[in-house]
Chain A
Amino acid sequence: MKITRKEFGLAVLLGLGAMFLTRMFGKFRGTKSSRPHEAARHWRRGGQLAG
């Protein structure tokens, strides 16, 4: 089966949409992932600190 560029693009968009919806409305919305407090960002760029 050959996938066209249009189908591929649609699949990527659907995937991103699903991720967005899960993040916004999912069971673990914003509660179980590590995130910087609004007052500060940690110093490392592009990764979590250990511990």
Chain B
Amino acid sequence: MSADNIRCELCFRFCSIPPGGRGNCRVRYNLNGELVSLVYGKPCAVHIDPIEKKPMFHFLPGTRAFSIATAGCNGHCQFCQNWEISQREPEETDNIDMPPAAVVENAIKSGCRSVAYTYTDPSIFYEYTYDSAVIARKKGIKNVLVTAGFLNEKPLRELARYADAANLDLKGNAEFYNKVVLAELKPVLDYLRIAREEGIFIELTNLIVPTLNDKKEDLEWLIKTILDSAGPDVPLHFSRFFPMYKLTNLYPTPAETLMDAAHMAEDMGINYVYVGNLPAGEFENTRCPKCKETVITRRGYMTPEIKLVDGKCPKCGEKIPGVWR
């Protein structure tokens, strides 16, 4: 490494950035020997979303999340569903000025119970996420990370002090990460372990991409890995792929594949399994694993009925894991 280069220690890539250069994420810049973020306080996406869209089904159901993202990403999924902002430099997106205090102020004004750092990976706008999360915590607003899990241990443990929940993408096995995500699996499993140690409430998402991670053995590996590393009570969302970015040659995930995966996960012992990006009937609802009572009914992003009493099944009293208030 040249003496003038800076090594960014935020994610597993440990980019060595020359003066005037940027990291793999396109947003971290070597400015005269100082590592700076080009997107601090400059989101390109600001939305008020139902929390169910993240998807978070066991976290303040029926509430809104003030959702922000900046340009760039340290993942390069060939199927990225948000590639118009994630695979761009900040100069190429339509950004606005919204410093951390304004994020929280706008969240409160909009009636949101949480701020979601989402759409692209929040690890690449870490400082913006961190500062916003600190202010949000002070004001009683919760923080949700929607992430691919590419954040190193030290920054994750620091951020975890202010993060309430995360939806972590577990995209596939090591080969899938190498070939399709152009990243590595290990940092994601490390993220899952550390986040759980730090008490962040976790839900997992797996986007099923036809022909690439939809085989029976792929799904069996995924479910077994989840059971081994997070146990049966972590909510798991199987999400439908639509042809995007570099995989427009593929077809959308068939409904049958998603439903089969959900049944397999249930049969193998995962207690809370959901199917997303598709009207999925029983797999949209939360059911008590003990007595099978439907405790939360959903229709798309709507929650017409929440029957939980103090986070417990109203019929048998079984505690349902989650953040309910």
Task: Please give the residue numbers on chain A whose beta carbons come within 8 Å of chain B beta carbons, in ascending order.
Answer: 28, 31-37, 39-44, 49-51
Contacts of B66 in A (CB 8 A): 37
A42 and B54 contact, Cβ closer than 8 Å, known pairs A33-B301, A37-B106: no
Check if A40 sits within 8 Å of B96, measured CB to CB: yes
21 cross-chain CB contacts under 8 A: A32-B301, A33-B50, A34-B48, A34-B50, A35-B47, A35-B48, A36-B48, A37-B106, A39-B98, A40-B96, A41-B94, A42-B44, A43-B44, A43-B45, A43-B85, A43-B94, A44-B82, A51-B82, A51-B118, A51-B146, A51-B167
Contacts of B110 in A (CB 8 A): 37
CA separation between A40 and B167, bound complex, in Å? Answer: 24
Name the residue on A nearest B116 (C-beta). Answer: A51
A43 and B84 contact, Cβ closer than 8 Å, known pairs A32-B302, A37-B66, A37-B106: yes
CA separation between A16 and B242, bound complex, in Å? Answer: 29
Contact-size category for B: 20 to 34
A49 and B301 contact, Cβ closer than 8 Å, known pairs A37-B48, A39-B96: no
Name the residue on A nearest B244 (C-beta). Answer: A50
Check if B302 sits within 8 Å of A51, measured CB to CB: no
**A-B CB proximity, top 5 nearest:** A40-B46, A50-B81, A42-B45, A37-B46, A51-B118
B64 within 8 A of A: yes
CA separation between A27 and B298, bound complex, in Å? Answer: 15
Q: Mark B106-128, 1 if CB is under 8 A from A, else 0.
A: 10001000000011000000000
CB distance from A50 to the nearest CB of B (A): 4
B186 within 8 A of A: no
Contacts of A51 in B (CB 8 A): 53-54, 67, 81-82, 118-119, 146, 167
Instruction: Tell me which residues from 30 to 57 in chain B have a Cβ below 8 Å from any Cβ of chain A.
Output: 43-50, 53-54
Contacts of A49 in B (CB 8 A): 45, 47, 69, 81-82, 85, 119
Contacts of B96 in A (CB 8 A): 39-40
Contacts of B85 in A (CB 8 A): 42-44, 49
CA separation between A41 and B118, bound complex, in Å? Answer: 15
CA separation between A33 and B84, bound complex, in Å? Answer: 22
CA separation between A31 and B47, bound complex, in Å? Answer: 12
Name the residue on B nearest A42 (C-beta). Answer: B45
CA separation between A6 and B214, bound complex, in Å? Answer: 50
Contacts of A28 in B (CB 8 A): 302
* Residue among A34, A39, A40, A44 with most chain B CB within 10 A: A40
Apart from A31-B64, A43-B45, what 13 extra A-B contacts exist at CB < 8 Å?
A: A32-B302, A33-B50, A34-B48, A34-B49, A36-B46, A36-B48, A37-B46, A39-B98, A40-B46, A43-B85, A49-B69, A49-B119, A51-B53
B257 within 8 A of A: no
CA separation between A43 and B85, bound complex, in Å? Answer: 7
B93 within 8 A of A: yes
CB distance from B161 to the nearest CB of A (A): 23
Check if A36 sits within 8 Å of B81, measured CB to CB: no
Contacts of B93 in A (CB 8 A): 43
Q: Mark B47-84, 1 if CB is under 8 A from A, else 0.
A: 11110011000000000101101000000000001101
Contacts of A50 in B (CB 8 A): 81-82, 119
CB distance from B178 to the nearest CB of A (A): 23
* Residue among B93, B146, B302 with most chain A CB within 10 A: B302
Instruction: Tell me which residues from 140 to 173 in chain B have a Cβ below 8 Å from any Cβ of chain A.
Output: 146, 167
